[in-house]
A and B are shown apart, each in its own frame.
Chain A
């Protein structure tokens, strides 16, 4: 019994695997958290652009261009989160 207790508390066994697993968990949670804000943000941008297009169909071209710009700026945070995910997971 003492032997098994010692073995159970021996933190050196498989600590590399544990660290790798924790790194993967952190990468997954980190990317998921980073995607929440930009997801909501892109929804707001596109929703308002559609409202603008429906109200003034003649200015749909301007609204579409501005919408893509807004998406590009909002998306940047999610993409930085994705890069962090790649760095955590694959390096």
Chain B
């Protein structure tokens, strides 16, 4: 006689979809959450900018500290003062990704739309187009390609080997890793939380041995701890996506080194 009924881990399609959700084509949990995240970002900045107090309170205080964080922690450290023009892009990107990620631990919702490949991919393609366009506009097409493919101080004999590798990493691999980093982190966190929730449920309700039921406390406690960890991951991944965007833009802008 089996101690445990088999662990009913749901198929992956069930974890990232929302069943029984309307009949409208194109509307599912992911798109709904993305729209909500965009609206929350918009609402946050509109609410903060409505009446500009000299001494900020409430929402204005929060938004000003976010802007300050992006200015000091991301732009000035990677691009310098001339990157201040990208402040609106980076601030909205940070907030949007953060709100998308934090849906992972929000009760009832508990699903990050960034764990579907489409959302990080579109963001990464946007970044890719932007940093290439900035580089080409600043240095011309050949100057930009030269700066991306030929690192300074490499002997000419090695260029045959180095130039294709540099081109591959800088132009092709960058958007891919940028998207996969966000996607895989959020999906891994989501799967971790699901795993321990399923384990708790199985031990508690689908368990034929009564004295094993208290063991369910262990995976439940693990789930609580992981939820706290996932909040950290949500902030960190939004930060890393934004700072990598800034680094790529900075590398396209200052090509002399």
Contact = CB atoms under 8 A, between A and B. Distances in A.
Interface of A: 61-62, 65, 68-69, 72, 75-76, 79-80, 82-83, 86, 90
B70 to A, nearest CB: 12
Contact of A82 (B11, B184, B239, B247): B184
Given A68-B243, A69-B247, A72-B244, A79 B185 contact: yes
Contacts of A62: 77
7 closest A-B pairs by beta carbon, nearest first, are A79-B184, A90-B12, A76-B177, A72-B240, A82-B184, A83-B184, A65-B77
**What size tier do the contact residues of chain B reach?**
10 to 19
A76 B178 CA distance: 9
B73 interface: yes
Interface string B150-193: 00000000000000000000000000010011011101100000
B106 to A, nearest CB: 23
A89 B185 CA distance: 17
- Interface residues of chain A: helix, strand, loop or mixed (majority): helix
- Interface residues of chain B: helix, strand, loop or mixed (majority): helix
B236 interface: yes
A82 B187 CA distance: 10
Contact of A69 (B187, B188, B244): B244
Contacts of A90: 11-12
B243 A69 contact: yes
Contacts of A65: 73, 77, 243
A41 to B, nearest CB: 14
B247 A79 contact: no
Contacts of B11: 90
B240 A68 contact: yes
Nearest to A81: B184
Given A68-B236, A82-B188, A90-B11, A76 B247 contact: no
A84 to B, nearest CB: 10
Contacts of B247: 69
